[in-house]
Structure 1
Amino acid sequence: MESPKAKRITIADVSEASGMSKAAVSMILNNKPGTRLSAEATERVRAAAKKLGYRPNAAAQSLRSGKTRTLGFISDQVTVTRFASEMITGILRAAEERGHTVLIAETFGKPEQMAEAITQMTHRDVDGLILGFMDSRQRDLRIPKTGLPTVLVNGLDDSPCVAVLPNEMDSGAKAVQRVIESGAKSVAVIGELENAEKDPRTYPSISRRFGSLRRALAESNLEVLGHWVLDDWNPTDGYEATIRMLADGYNPDAIICANDRVAMGVFQALAENGLKPGTDLSVLSFDDEIIASYLRPQLTSIRLPYEGMGALAVELLLDGKLEPGEHQIDMPLIERESMKSR
């Protein structure tokens, strides 16, 4: 036998429980501006609605407003990285705070699937789109003309767009300042990326990171012992570069690594040479991947703010701040054990 369907709580129920008129309850629960209702009345209505378990009728609201209160999020790699999880968390939390839900799709790293995913989201009547990427690149998305407000997160497009990016233009300077604060007199940089050096426009965040780093180093009194350019950002390249550096007789007071995976290889090479980060020299990195807290000693790293970028994308969509241009999110320095004390 089927269970009886639960009775839907209505505005009339909230009105009776709170002692307020249905018109007043409607204005309060729908956040209508310009009401002259007291704070006490508003609190009483909201408390009654919460106690009764009132939920607005989304279908009715959609018919009245022409909005579904639903956003679409499309990513190139939703399921395979921690960064994607953080971006989704930021989007979901910000959307929930504004009474919106989020539909999620993934292109599995296949650029040709982006247009189809956008078309499918359009068919589901979302109010706006967020396109999120795990690596910050200049792209040629060729987004279908849907008329939907759209924000890119951690990426740029060849056409004018609204984009949310990490503030890499300050990240290098932040790293250099922390190295100076550690008391270092000399520094080595491991991990400039060869492809980014050849084509800086395609890698805007990487180019900005190292541009900021070079400028800050040039303005400092630090002795720069060298810049080691790598083919890729992985532990093996970081390890081999550090082995070469030490074999050539360079013994810096600090090493700035391109990212945490490079730093992992640097840690291994240092250990093989009897050197410990945080004790014999300082090591600092970028991105703050999960491995930063797993390394021993734990790695100081400048975080990519994926959660904050996702949240800001929602705010821009819902507040209608959609003039083409970039919106920068600060990259916080996460202090751990790999930096020496003065």
Structure 2
Amino acid sequence: MPASSKRVTAADVARALGLSRATVGFVLNNTPGQTIPEKTRQRVLAEAERLGYRPNHAAQALRRGNTRLVMLLMPDWPVETSLAGFLDEVSFRLDQAGYTLVTYTRRAGDRARPLWETLHPDVVLGLGELDEVSVRSAKVSGAKVVLTQSIADSALTAAGARLQVRHLYERGHRRLAFALPEDRRLAELAATRCEAARRAAAELGLPPLDVRSLAAGDDTAARAVRQWRDAGITGVLAYNDFIAALAVGAAVRAGIGVPTSLAVIGHDDAPFGQAFVPALSSVRMGIGELARYVADLALHGLGHTGTAPAPLVPDFRIVHRESS
């Protein structure tokens, strides 16, 4: 039959077969409790296939009263290794309960209508704060629950930074620096980690941290390592492993020994850190624990569990390698 951009509906199948729309609807929706002859059922299925009928999932969801979708509202962060692992684990846990995870990043100045108004998820789960307008919009769109859980707060960011400070302090380093990313999307999270490191250093009686931003593709890292060397800095806490790699690479190129003259420790324990030369010391976070907690928050909101999961701070631990 000629190609057409018009969506084939159950009414089209019924018209082609000379059957009632109700009969065709019962077959296509596999409605229980109906006594439709098997021969008729097979005719309906064959004609639906011939015409190119595809179910309207949105309409089916409207009839059921749910879409089996959980929307995770993401901060405007780059999807790095740790975040990708987190999303994989949340998705897996929700899938086991019969739900599909949809991620949605809202950015300042977005002009498009919110995605929840199109997909009508059962739950909108925010990893950051949702403003009142967004909360109302999500609820009007049909979300049964709107949950907010910040993962950029001090509880989740301070623990790793404090471990970084302690790790270098225990190895005899007393003049420390903190290396920030230049990516503005990470500014809030990076500032929180840096402030936690400042406080940890002050508690140990150390001088104020020398804080600098590093970026790929320019000479910020090269300048920073030379200035740290000249200032007597012997230990660098990096926002993450990518920034740690920039610092280590710049130091090696400048002839500054790592870790003999400059020890460096990253954060997040990215897989490439083990293959880097020298291998990067880092902080490993129990990302699976956090992912399961976030998934369980959504499932609790959907009524799958009787009690809300207890708030948690994931386990953090040092992975000691060559760079420190």
Determine the structure 1 residue equivalent to 2:321.
337
Cα 1:96–1:189, aligned 2, differ >3 Å: closer, same or farther?
same
Query: Shift of the alpha carbon at 1:276?
Result: 3.6
SS of residue paired to 2:211: strand
Instruction: Please say if residues 248 and 258 of structure 2, whose CA atoms lie closer than 8 Å, have aligned partners that are also in contact.
Output: yes
Does residue 128 (structure 1) correspond to residue 126 (structure 2)? The answer is no
User: How is 1:81-160 mapped onto 2 (pairs within 5 angstroms)?
Assistant: 81-97=80-96, 99-107=97-105, 112=110, 115-122=113-120, 126-131=121-126, 142-143=133-134, 145=136, 146-147=138-139, 148=143, 149-152=145-148
Count residues in correspondence: 256
CA shift digits 1:179-236 (9 cap, x unpaired): 123x21423213257999xxxxx95433331222111111215x44751332x55474
Cα 1:264–1:317, aligned 2, differ >3 Å: closer, same or farther?
same
Task: Provide TM-score, normalisation by structure 1.
Answer: 0.58
Q: Which amino acid aligns with 1:95?
A: L
Instruction: Please say if residues 283 and 318 of structure 2, whose CA atoms lie closer than 8 Å, have aligned partners that are also in contact.
Output: yes
Q: Distance in 1 between matches of 2:217 and 2:283?
A: 18
Q: Distance in 2 between matches of 1:73 and 1:138?
A: 12
Q: Distance in 2 between matches of 1:176 and 1:256?
A: 7
Determine the structure 2 residue equivalent to 1:3.
none
Determine the structure 2 residue equivalent to 1:188.
176
Q: Distance in 1 between matches of 2:228 and 2:122?
A: 53
Determine the structure 1 residue equivalent to 2:158.
169
Q: Distance in 1 between matches of 2:297 and 2:212?
A: 37
Determine the structure 1 residue equivalent to 2:49.
none
Q: Distance in 2 between matches of 1:263 and 1:195?
A: 15
Query: Shift of the alpha carbon at 1:291?
Result: 3.8
Determine the structure 1 residue equivalent to 2:278.
297
Query: Shift of the alpha carbon at 1:114?
Result: 7.0
Unmatched tracts of structure 2, length 5 or more: 1-29, 33-60
Which protein has the larger Cα radius of gyration, Structure 1 or Structure 2?
2
Q: Distance in 1 between matches of 2:215 and 2:147?
A: 28
CA shift digits 1:35-91 (9 cap, x unpaired): xxxxxxxxxxxxxxxxxxxxxxxxxxx999955544233546799643442232121
Instruction: Please say if residues 93 and 292 of structure 2, whose CA atoms lie closer than 8 Å, have aligned partners that are also in contact.
Output: yes
Unmatched tracts of structure 1, length 5 or more: 1-7, 11-61, 157-163, 197-201
Cα 1:85–1:195, aligned 2, differ >3 Å: closer, same or farther?
closer
Cα 1:216–1:76, aligned 2, differ >3 Å: closer, same or farther?
closer
Q: Distance in 2 between matches of 1:208 and 1:225?
A: 16
Please give the root-mean-square deviation of Cα atoms over the aligned residues, in Å: 4.4
SS of residue paired to 2:266: strand
Instruction: Please say if residues 180 and 211 of structure 2, whose CA atoms lie closer than 8 Å, have aligned partners that are also in contact.
Output: yes
Instruction: Please say if residues 70 and 128 of structure 1, whose CA atoms lie closer than 8 Å, have aligned partners that are also in contact.
Output: yes
Determine the structure 2 residue equivalent to 1:313.
294
Cα 1:266–1:193, aligned 2, differ >3 Å: closer, same or farther?
closer
Q: Distance in 2 between matches of 1:207 and 1:275?
A: 27
Instruction: Please say if residues 302 and 331 of structure 1, whose CA atoms lie closer than 8 Å, have aligned partners that are also in contact.
Output: no
Identity of aligned residues (%): 15
Query: Shift of the alpha carbon at 1:241?
Result: 0.8
Cα 1:188–1:77, aligned 2, differ >3 Å: closer, same or farther?
closer
For 1:179, which of 168, 175, 178 is the aligned residue?
168
More strand by share: 1
Q: Which has the higher contact order (CA 8 A, sep 6+)?
A: 1
Does residue 207 (structure 1) correspond to residue 198 (structure 2)? The answer is no
Q: Distance in 2 between matches of 1:169 and 1:328?
A: 14
Determine the structure 2 residue equivalent to 1:23.
none
User: How is 1:69-80 mapped onto 2 (pairs within 5 angstroms)?
Assistant: 69-75=68-74
Does residue 244 (structure 1) correspond to residue 227 (structure 2)? The answer is yes
Determine the structure 2 residue equivalent to 1:34.
none
SS of residue paired to 2:110: helix
Query: Shift of the alpha carbon at 1:305?
Result: 5.5
CA shift digits 1:304-335 (9 cap, x unpaired): 665543332211122239xxxx9553362351
Q: Which amino acid aligns with 2:239?
A: A
